[in-house]
């Protein structure tokens, strides 16, 4: 099948201008436009030097293929250990994940507990941890408002009388978010994704206890929560910085309609339509390809072991800077998943030839937004990762999760048959 080309009637990009016989460097053409104060327009002949409103931004010119340097402050009190940092250079500093250690500027005081909803076992564990933090650690325990109305907490007379009044809600009566120094997750991978949705900028350090159905992102056992939380308070654990994608739904005039940071993936699918999804993919302003299929998954390395893996993509370690582009049931069998550098900018545009004018994009499985030919999706790597506390180290935790949760390369060994006695009888 021949490679698809972008349609010339696309409202976001004007049609090609006639090419003069005298060839010149596209970069020089763009510079002349800037000098004359004219707005440079997208031209597919200019490849990576193509100009749009965003490409005119000076920050866009400094885009690094390895992605932006992550913000190394995590909430009010946590930050990356100074031993990891070196004096600023004029180039991007790649941190060795082995030396990404947690350090507190002062003792963490405000502890947010996020639990798996509608689970009585998790609710009992929350009560135990909350009592221990308040009585033994003199901490302020913060929960979501909906947790305070759960039956397991309300109808426990002792807890309701002694501990429940001491719990603070994440959002106070004035609509202001209370400060959070550390997040304790009780649940599975969905609980950690929920934490990411709550903190759409700086995220405090997260210690995740496995109490869900899978627990790929939750390396800690709740049976040892006291020693694990003590070691967290002492800063004895390392950090895995899980990158997020900054996803913006924009109008044709470049105004931002919605913006989300996603930990796993953003998905563009055909929605309720029965026809195939037909979208154009641009990388750094350059036309990449056209997708004809059920949809497209753009995932982080963390999300590579979720929906993206189910669609046939490779698993990527969370410390590898990259963006995974995975088609869902593509019309062309040669359209295989690829891993792109973390520093690129992706644009997903509904093709002008698409018969399905209302594909849907969702963000970590939430917030569905119906697309149109007058909107486009812009995706870059965010500077705000989710700092997850490592149980052993960033490599051991990941491979243990592959083995325990996904049973990676695990097979049952058959009993070896011996043909010795049979051969002797035959002789």
Catalytic residue numbers read 189
Query: ∠92-94-98 over CA atoms, to 5°?
Result: 165
Q: How many angstroms separate the CA atoms of 368 and 271, rounded?
A: 9
For strands 110-115 and 182-187, give the pairing.
parallel
CA distances from 144 to 159, 168, 170 (A): 17, 8, 5
Q: How many angstroms separate the CA atoms of 254 and 375, rounded?
A: 9
Q: Which DSSP state fits 315?
A: P
Assess contact for 366 and 353: CB atoms under 8 A: no
Assess contact for 7 and 349: CB atoms under 8 A: no
Reduced to 3 states, what is the DSSP secondary structure of residue 99?
Answer: helix
Assess contact for 318 and 394: CB atoms under 8 A: yes
Q: How many angstroms separate the CA atoms of 21 and 26, rounded?
A: 14
Reduced to 3 states, what is the DSSP secondary structure of residue 298?
Answer: strand
């Amino acid at each position: 099948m021949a490679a698809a080309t972008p349609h010339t009637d696309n409202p976001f990009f004007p049609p090609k201008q006639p090419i003069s016989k005298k060839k010149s460097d596209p970069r020089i053409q763009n510079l002349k436009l800037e000098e004359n104060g004219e707005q440079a327009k997208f031209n597919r002949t200019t490849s990576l030097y193509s100009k749009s409103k965003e490409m005119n931004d000076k920050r866009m010119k400094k885009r690094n293929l390895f992605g932006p340097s992550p913000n190394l402050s995590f909430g009010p009190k946590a930050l990356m250990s100074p031993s990891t940092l070196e004096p600023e250079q004029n180039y991007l500093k790649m941190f060795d994940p082995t030396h990404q250690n947690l350090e507190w500027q002062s003792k963490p005081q405000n502890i947010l507990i996020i639990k798996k909803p509608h689970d009585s076992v998790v609710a009992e564990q929350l009560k135990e941890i909350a009592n221990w933090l308040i009585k033994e650690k003199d901490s302020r325990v913060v929960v979501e408002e909906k947790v305070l109305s759960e039956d397991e907490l309300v109808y426990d007379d002792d807890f309701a009388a002694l501990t429940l009044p001491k719990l603070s809600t994440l959002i106070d009566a004035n609509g202001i978010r209370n400060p959070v120094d550390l997040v304790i997750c009780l649940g599975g991978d969905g609980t950690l994704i929920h934490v990411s949705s709550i903190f759409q900028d700086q995220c405090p350090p997260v210690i995740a206890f496995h109490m869900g159905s899978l627990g790929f992102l939750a390396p800690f056992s709740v049976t040892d929560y006291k020693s694990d939380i003590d070691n967290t308070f002492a800063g004895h654990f390392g950090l895995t910085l899980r990158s997020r994608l900054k996803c913006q739904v924009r109008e044709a005039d470049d105004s931002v309609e919605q913006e989300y940071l996603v930990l796993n993936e953003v998905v563009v699918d055909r929605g309720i339509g029965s026809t195939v999804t037909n979208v154009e993919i641009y990388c750094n302003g350059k036309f990449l390809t056209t997708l004809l299929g059920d949809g497209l998954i753009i995932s982080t390395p963390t999300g590579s072991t979720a929906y993206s893996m189910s669609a046939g993509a490779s698993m990527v370690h969370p410390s590898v800077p990259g963006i995974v582009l995975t088609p869902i049931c593509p019309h062309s069998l040669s359209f295989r998943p690829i891993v792109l550098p973390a520093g690129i900018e992706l644009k997903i545009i509904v093709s002008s030839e698409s018969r399905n004018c209302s594909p849907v994009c969702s963000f970590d499985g939430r917030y569905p937004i119906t697309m149109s030919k007058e909107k486009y999706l812009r995706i870059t790597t965010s500077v705000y990762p989710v700092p997850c506390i490592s149980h052993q180290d960033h490599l051991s935790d990941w491979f243990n999760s592959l083995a325990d949760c996904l049973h990676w390369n695990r097979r049952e060994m058959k009993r070896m048959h011996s043909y010795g006695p049979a051969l002797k009888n035959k002789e």
